[in-house]
Amino acid sequence: MFSLANKHAVITGGGSGIGKAISILFAKQGATVHIFDLNQQTAEDTLQVIRDAGGHGDFHNVDVTNQQQVIDAFAAIGTVDILVNNAGIAHVGNVENTQEADFERVYNVNVKGAYNCFYAAIPMMKAKKSGVALSMASIASSVGIADRFAYSMSKGAVHAMSMSVARDYLQDGIRSNTISPARVHTPFVDGFISKNYPGQEAEIFEKLSKSQPIGRMGSPEEIAYLALFLCSEESGFITGSDYAIDGGFIKLNN
């Protein structure tokens, strides 16, 4: 079950965190993994894990905010069966203290980056009448999260774009869904806490962990298992859907 044999999967931000877990799992299940990332070292480290396990993958030094770079990378690959829009950045702030430069930076990576990958991948999928797009949204695209104005904007846009793709390409054999994680413990989270809450790391980590009703953060591997299901043939009847993987945050946190 859940075989990705003979599939080519593009995973943006695939060198670390959730993207790393997805890359490793997809390769384990037989996919040739193409990691789009700006950090060559983390991407190569991930690919080494994949190759040591007998899997196959490549690194593409791609800035997802640059449409021509994205188009050129897809052209070099030549085919794509699975697109995982995972690359993203966060920002802390409400509308009053979110500066224009911060807003644009979050938009360019999270929204334009996903758009650029859709723009390059969908015609290739359409040509062969099959393909799966999976995009990382967030619980912030469904409910209000304090001090996440720009981030929430971006993830709401990712969700909306994904649903639009699902609707527009029903007849072309292309499925499009989103995953909406709550907080997941990654190096990104650790760096985020240390940057924004210096001297309060342990306290903030505990607070963020307990904001999920289940009492902890998720793991990257737990997100990857859901991603595998949604990108496999076993989920062939699923499109235009969002999956919260949030320890009960949306439904039970009241």
Q: Which residues are catalytic?
A: 151
Count how many residues are written for the chain: 254
> What CA–CA distance (Å, rounded) separates 241 from 254?
24
Q: In this structure, are residues 82 and 12 in contact, taking their beta carbons and an 8 Å threshold?
A: no
- State how far the Cα of 10 lies from the Cα of 5, in Å rounded to an integer: 14
Query: What are the residues whose beta carbons fall under 8 Å from the beta carbon of 148, sequence distance 6 or more?
Result: 90, 91, 92, 93, 140
Q: Are 152 and 91 in contact (CB under 8 A)?
A: no
In order, the DSSP letters of 206-236 are HHHHHTSTTSS-B-HHHHHHHHHHHHSGGGT
Measured distance CA(185)–CA(176) in Å, rounded: 26
Q: Evaluate the CA torsion angle 158, 160, 161, 167 in order and state its sign.
A: positive
* Amino acid present at 104: E
Q: Bridge partners of 12?
A: 36
